[in-house]
Amino acid sequence: MQVTAGDLLKSINYPSDLKQFKEDDLEQICNELRQYIIDVVSVNGGHFAASLGTVELTVALQYVLNTPYDQLVWDVGHQAYGHKILTGRRENFHTNRVYNGLSGFPKRSESIFDTFGVGHSSTSISAALGMAVASQYKGETDRQHVAVIGDGAMTAGLAFEALNHAGIENSNILVILNDNNMSIDPNVGALKEYLTDITTSKPYNRFRDDIATVLTKISSMGPDAFKIAKKIEKSIKGTLLKRSNFFEALKFRYFGPVDGHDVKHLVKLLQDLRDIPGPKLLHCVTVKGKGYALAEKDQTKWHAPGLFDKITGEIKKTKYDKPQPPKYQDVFGHTIIELAEQNSKIMGVTPAMPSGCSLNLMMKAMPNRAFDVGIAEQHAVTFSAGLATQGLVPFCNIYSSFMQRAYDQVIHDVAIQKLNIVFCLDRAGFAGADGATHHGAYDLAYMRCIPNMTVSAPMNEEELRNLMYTAQLDNMGPFVIRYPRGNGVMVDWQRPLKPIPVGKGRIICDGEEVAVLSIGTIGNEAITAIARLNAQGYYPAHYDLRFVKPLDEALLHEVFKKFNHIITVEDGCLEGGMGSAVLEFMADNKYKADVVRLGIPDKFIEHGDQPELWAECGYDAAGIAAEIKKNAIKRDNTHIIAS
């Protein structure tokens, strides 16, 4: 379905077109931009509420700044749909997050207006500061550098590190804090409470508008007058808030809070702030989902709702005639409660993804035993380590690609100390439409090289439950369980829990000529491939390793003694992954065989549905079957058919 832009928006292809309009036209442009996002996302899907909340801010920034010469960094990137539409991509916006279409996040290779790739959060201040320092070094003193960071992203350590550094650099940087009290789920932590104190302080809010005007006028009277005004302002702000301003303690000039939906006021503020030197922070209060009542009311649900009827608000779900398998995240969410009811030592930890990983179920059922620590993966791991030192068993649930940010903590704070923490890595393998920044491609490789670590992957929901049960048993040490985004394969999945011997795989089917070794849920593609081949007279064997560390050496000895042709299949990177582990075993034990590895190649794969990406990389059912047929012999019952 082709969506038509409004009367003003349809004439805006680039920010230079936007600048031709009068300020009085900006409110209509905002209304048309917001409606365009609603229209496109409702029929094509994608992130939704975050970009609705930044419409006025987007229009004001593109109206005032000279982009792309002025550098604008969005954080997190799903706030940037309006930015994409106003920077040459309106006509192609319907391909957003579609295979071979536009990325759902800012992407440097996609547009010169995308100054920095932002799929994960909390990077914008560091990046914008680097740009500002570079501009200063090159003598580009007229260049503006703006980081738009959501208040949820401000909870990450990297954002604080960047603020700490930026405060001592005399660089031209403006940080815009988009304060909507939300990331995907409601924000948590002391910073949220602090921002709430500011936004609800009536004396301070009466004072704030006047001081910004005064400062811009005084700045033109010379540096001494400006310094005196700054001291007076700091004193008054501290008195009104009954505390020092956090951002000004880091040597940022603080302005706000301001209404992030008043586009005319934002334009005036941004024009004034261009003339104030040094690091500045503008605190904008916005509403996530602004302009779509249902999204304003339930911001978590409407973060990325899928397809929906924009009139009724009905989210379109595929209807089935019979029960369907659950999502793996829901299997985790229900199973951890079941385990915690049996084992009082179990705790749950997640960095700002309680609904995304379904730990929200435990947070509701056992609020004193489940923790959302904010967008702070490093802290999540070391906090879990602290719990483990006291005899508790934390299940630390972090998306596979997010865990990359806490790698140092995994090694130093967990593995070296042999602490019993269960790392549940959701979104392992291809994550789908979120693309390269979110694919869980590397966890098998980066976890299996760490001493003291157990690394596992279930093929189905029952295996996930049993691995979770196994991991919380006594003296298990650091234990990784990785599983994908999306639905499983079993309707009857809530079966009695039982332990799985650590480091033991299993045979799925015996066969001849060719052995397929798989790990994790991608093994179901191998099952499908082999079933199709059996119908054609091919009979390969199939083994599910279940563990990439420790490897089932007895199983591998059996395989290498029986088969000359071996295919490894994994939904992860080939470099250092399960296939590499099998090759290492072969070399160490002096076996000789033809080993073909199927998995994610040594390049970044873009966004698309999981089956599309498996096919692109050659390890969907069709790709596995094609590889098997290269060495399998076709038979009619037990007789070889002459070719």
Give the annotated binding-site residues for Mg(2+): 151, 180
Question: Coil, helix or strand for 298?
Answer: coil
Q: Which of 582, 614, 585, 586 is nearest to 601 (CA)?
A: 614
The tokens for 5 are 């832009």
* Cα distances (Å, whole numbers) of residue 205 to 56, 279, 285: 21, 22, 12
Catalytic residue among 84, 107, 405, 427: 405
Among 404, 409, 402, 517, residue whose Cα is nearest residue 459: 517
Tokens 């005196």 belong to 228
Q: Which amino acid is at 19?
A: K
CA-CA distance, 232 to 236, in Å (whole number)? 6
Hey, what amino acid is at 264? K
3-state helix, strand, coil in the chain (%, to 5): 45, 15, 40
- Which amino acid type is present at position 638? T
CA angle 183, 185, 189 (to 5 degrees): 75
* Nearest to 520, CA basis, from 459, 474, 568, 470: 459
Binding-site residue positions: 78, 119-121, 151-153, 180, 292, 377
Cα–chain-centroid distance for residue 508?
A: 34
Nearest to 459 by CA among 430, 482, 443, 438: 482
- The catalytic position among 208, 288, 369, 485 is 288
Burial label for 24, CB within 10 Å (0-12, 13-18, 19+), is exposed
Residue 542 is encoded by which pair of tokens?
Answer: 């199939």
CA torsion, points 86, 88, 91, 94, in degrees to nearest 10? -70
Residues 256, 261, 264, 270: is their CA dihedral positive or negative?
Answer: positive
Q: Which of 621, 352, 336, 327 is nearest to 485 (CA)?
A: 327
Which residue has 């201040």 as its token pair?
125
Which long-range contacts link 532-536 to residues 24+ away (Cβ below 8 Å)? 532/621, 532/625, 533/625, 533/628, 533/629, 533/632, 536/634
d(CA 458, CA 466): 9
Q: Concatenate the DSSP letters of all residues of 104-126 into one string.
A: SS--TTT-TT--S--SSSS-HHH
- 274 catalytic residue (yes or no): no
Among the listed residues 32, 56, 233, 377, the single catalytic one is: 377
Helices (H), 23-80: 26-44, 49-52, 55-64
Report d(CA 546, CA 543) in Å as an integer. Answer: 9
Question: How many CB atoms lie under 10 A from the CB of residue 546?
Answer: 25
Residue 629 makes CB contacts below 8 A (sequence gap 6+) with: 533, 538
User: What is the CA 428 to chain-centroid distance, rounded?
Assistant: 12
288 an active-site residue?
A: yes
State the Cα–Cα distance between residues 36 and 40, nearest whole angstrom: 6
Q: Is 546 a catalytic residue?
A: no
Q: Cα-Cα-Cα-Cα dihedral of 516, 521, 527, 532, to 10°? A: -110
Which residues 6+ apart lie within 8 Å of 418 measured at CB? 452, 477, 478
Residues annotated as part of the active site: 288, 377, 405
